[in-house]
Structure 1
Amino acid sequence: MKLKSLASATLGAAALMFSLSPQGELGFAQAVAQAETVRPEVGKHLKDASALIKGGKYKEALAKVRDAEAVAGRTAAENNAIEGMRVAAASGAGDAESMVRGFEALKAAGKLAGPSQLQMMESIAGTYLRGGNAAKALEWSNKYFAAGGSSPTMKQVQSQAQFKSGDMGAVLKDTLAELQADEKAGKVPTQDKLNLLLYAAQKKNDAGAEAFATEKLLNYYPTKQLWAQLLGSLPSKKGFSDRFALDVYRLKLVTGNMRDANDYMEMAQLAAQAGYPDEGKQVVDKGLAANVLGQGTEGARHKRLADLLAKKIAEAKAAQTGAEKDAQEAKDGNALITLGLAFAHRGEAAKGVKLIEQGIEKGNLKRPEDAKLYLGLAQFIGGDAVKAQATWRGVKGTDGVADLARLWSVQARTSKK
């Protein structure tokens, strides 16, 4: 006989009834039973199991499934009905192993269409994950995607399983692929996704991936703390040149990450030594305004530095005409680069940009990529962030200059958010 008390669905409709909930799986189990001929001695146990599942008594329902399984002389049809009910009860009980047993039996019997297989694999993976078996959850989520599944929910299950199982290499690879897909589609990656990428990179000790993740976080979700983290580690990056110490301070200053009086003093002195006394004086003035400089026993020294920089600014202005003439007559454009950035810091950005462009055009530069970095900086100081970003995109190099250009581009974009 057929179980009259069970739903009158067909196996074809079962796929539509299936969901990740035990009740959805119960519908599937009922559809299997309805489509098969089941004797009363088996059917009564399955009917009881169905009622227990509806009442949320999943472990008791599993016991009834075992009672049905204990009936001698079972037919293939009865076994199919039993396995369908096993999956439903096991799902509610969180018994992933029993779910797998039922799944494999129904699949072998040809009772699971492709969509139903995917849905059941999704349920199995989720049950393993909730039960704390990340390795098995990862195994079944991988099976799911290998079988053609594409559920976003399962992608989350897979990511969590990778994370919990410690497979940081897979987390890096998959999360990076998701990030690239988001950006290609014009979507903003979620902060959680980027944080996961950063965490995985740190666990793998992958400095390149860590810097990439941090920059992406800065691009989409900028914070002072993130800037501090990245700028703090930048000088120790492999190949990063120590000639960029002043440039790192420049980024610290605009992102609010000058830590103490020593930072302000060091940056001001580096700026003066590089030929930018106006920039140095601006740094000291900001330190004084923030009450970081000019305080305590070192206060007098701070003010003396401010006076010295004011004197150097006056000297630079007095020698400005001669310095510009010498730079124009030089065989290379190096002096024009320095002079142009000095003008930008002095408040004459348009003239500074023109001088740097002349220096780049003249050529024979000691460091052409540095020149492009500073052209972008002069443009940015002058208020043309769009042109500055275009310039910075063209900066190449492995000694830190490209890193700085990229970070300035991020700062230019995010400072307006």
Structure 2
Amino acid sequence: MTKFRYARFGVLIAALGLSAVSSMVPTAAFAQAAETVKPAIGTALHEASELAKAKKYKEALGKVRDADAVPGKTAYESYVIESTRGSYAMAAGDKETAVKAYEAVVSSGRLSGPQKLAMYESLGGSYYSMNNLPKASVWYGRYLSEGGDDPKIRAMMTQISFQNGDCSKVSKEISANVRAEEKAGRTPAEGDLQMLANCMKNDKAGYVGAMEKLTTYYPKKEYWKDLLNRLPARPGYSERLLLDVYRLKQDLGQLASVNDYMEMSQLSLQAGLPAEAQKIIDQGYKAGVFGVGPEAARHQRLKDLAAKNAAADLKALPQAEADANAAKEGTGLVNLGFAYVVSGQYPKGIALMEQGIAKDGLSRPDDAKLHLGIAYLWAGKKADAVKMFKTVEGKDGTADLARYWMIQANRPLK
């Protein structure tokens, strides 16, 4: 009995993956091959091929079933039948039949290493699209365990762990991935960092760490808002730093409500920085939150007070500078220098702050270094600013703020 020679197109289908299979029809059904199929099988598969050419995939699958019904099939014949079945089932949108067929193809032992990896990846993707996470995890796991190194597959495995609620595994996997990406000089995926943050909701320190990473690589307004709103609740945080938090919000363009402008300007006045208060008040008027509504008169009184205090400070500056220079410790020079800085006189203010820090004996050295770092940044001295921020070690929130200012200093250019 003469046997038909059937193309080993199944190998090619497997290598291409299931995503390519849906649009692929085996047209070379009778090309030369080392192995052959029985005439009844060859005929049925040929008829299936003709139906598939006409995009009649369901009818083609019927012919594949006819081929499968032939008794006494060899291992090769079963392999060809399942390869064909998988192709037409995928084209017909019958993923259940397709994945079962391709699992049989994998089990045939006829695929090379690269072909198997391609099939594992495709099976994992198909099962994932079918919401069969356990099966998707099995096939993605085989892909990785047998040498596959596509980072997208590792990301999918992490996504599956997240959907299964295995946050311990997710945290471990993503943390390792983030370290590897950073070491390689690449940006960690935003989706990974979001999953990490979501998995850390019950771990305050871990959550903040994840949000810091998100803010570092994806400095979106909502990430910054979340991070800064949580800062005052951090253990050991000092309320005296509220003005510094507002300064960062201002730098980020996150002053929004009338209460934001009102509180920051009042805090600046209380800190003896009327020039800074004036700037904030002017911004409030420009933003349209001051000078309107039932509180308009109050806003005007605040503006007048800031202007009056700023004028008085200007007159007192020469004596204040003489007193600060005469003092044994440098706190006065630092404070005076920062007053110049917030009024826009960066060179003079920075010089005084540097002199004050050099004197030592500061009442709050971390505050002084934080403010000098801010001054450097506002003056356009980014490298000096980052270097100074790295020296801030206070456990009262100053080190946190310095770290956040570093993130802001290193923000991507628009």
* 2:334 counterpart residue number: 337
User: Is 1:127 aligned to 2:123, yes or no?
Assistant: no
TM-score (norm 2): 0.82
Residues 85 and 15 (structure 1), Cα distance of their counterparts in 2 relative to 1, 3 Å cut: closer
**CA root-mean-square deviation:** 3.7
3-state SS, counterpart of residue 293 of structure 1 = coil
Q: Counterpart amino acid of 1:364?
A: G
**Cα contact 1:349–1:378 (8 A) shared by 2:** yes
Q: What letter corresponds to residue 145 of structure 1 in structure 2?
A: L
Counterpart in the other structure of 1:40? 39
2:291 to 270, 294, 297: 294
Please say if 1:3 is aligned against 2:26. Answer: no
Measured after TM superposition, the shift of residue 283 of structure 1 is: 1.6
Q: Which runs of 4+ in 1 moved over 6 A?
A: 8-11, 28-33
Alignment deviations for residues 311-370 of structure 1 (CA, whole Å, 9 cap, x no partner): 333443444344334434444433333222122123332232223223322223343332
Amino acid at match of 1:3: F
1:383 aligned partner:
380
1:198 maps to which of 180, 190, 194? 194
1:337-356 map, 5 Å: 337-356=334-353
- Please identify, of 97-106 and 377-386, the stretch whose mean Cα deviation from structure 2 is larger: 97-106
Q: Which amino acid aligns with 2:377?
A: F
Q: Deviations over 1:208-264 (max 9, x none)?
A: 555455445544554445443433333234443322110111122222322333222
1:24–1:178: structure 2 CA closer, same or farther, 3 Å change rule? farther
Residues 26, 89 of structure 1: 8 Å contact kept: yes
* Equivalent residue, structure 2, for 1:150: 149
Which deviates further from its counterpart, 396-405 or 169-178? 169-178
CA positional deviation for 1:164: 4.7
Determine the C-alpha separation between the residues in 2 that align with 1:335 and 1:81.
87
Name the residue aligned to 2:20. 21
Q: Does the 8 A contact of 2:15 with 2:118 survive in 1?
A: no
User: Is the Cα contact below 8 Å between 1:169 and 1:200 reproduced in 2?
Assistant: no
Give 2:81's aligned residue: 82
Q: Distance in 2 between matches of 1:2 and 1:164?
A: 51
- State how far apart, in whole Å, the 2-side matches of 1:199 and 1:391 are: 33
Contact 1:188 1:220 in 2 (8 A): yes
The alignment of Structure 1 onto Structure 2 pairs a total of residues equal to: 412
Question: Which whole-Å deviations, capped at 9, do the CAs of 1:129-184 have from their partners, x for residues lacking one?
Answer: 22232332233212211211133554564455455545555555555555555544
Change (3 A) 1:82 1:398: farther
Q: Aligned partners of 1:265 and 1:31: how far apart in 2?
A: 82
Q: Residue 364 of structure 1: which of 325, 342, 361 is its match?
A: 361
- What residue ranges of structure 1 are gaps of 5+ in the alignment? none
397, 406, 414: which one aligns with 1:409: 406
Distance in 2, matches of 1:72 and 1:394, equals: 80
CA distance 1:261–1:238, shift in 2 (3 Å): same
* Partner secondary structure for residue 240 of structure 1: coil
1:98 Cα deviation after fit = 4.6
385-394 vs 317-326, which deviates more?
317-326
Counterparts of 1:304-323 in structure 2, within 5 Å, are 304-323=301-320
Please state how far the C-alpha of 1:287 moved relative to its aligned partner. Answer: 1.9
Q: How far off its partner does 1:2 sit?
A: 4.4
**Are the aligned partners of 2:14 and 2:119 in contact in 1 as well (CA < 8 Å)?**
no
Q: Does 1:262 align with 2:259?
A: yes
- When normalised by structure 1's length, the TM-score is 0.82
Percent identity over the alignment is: 43
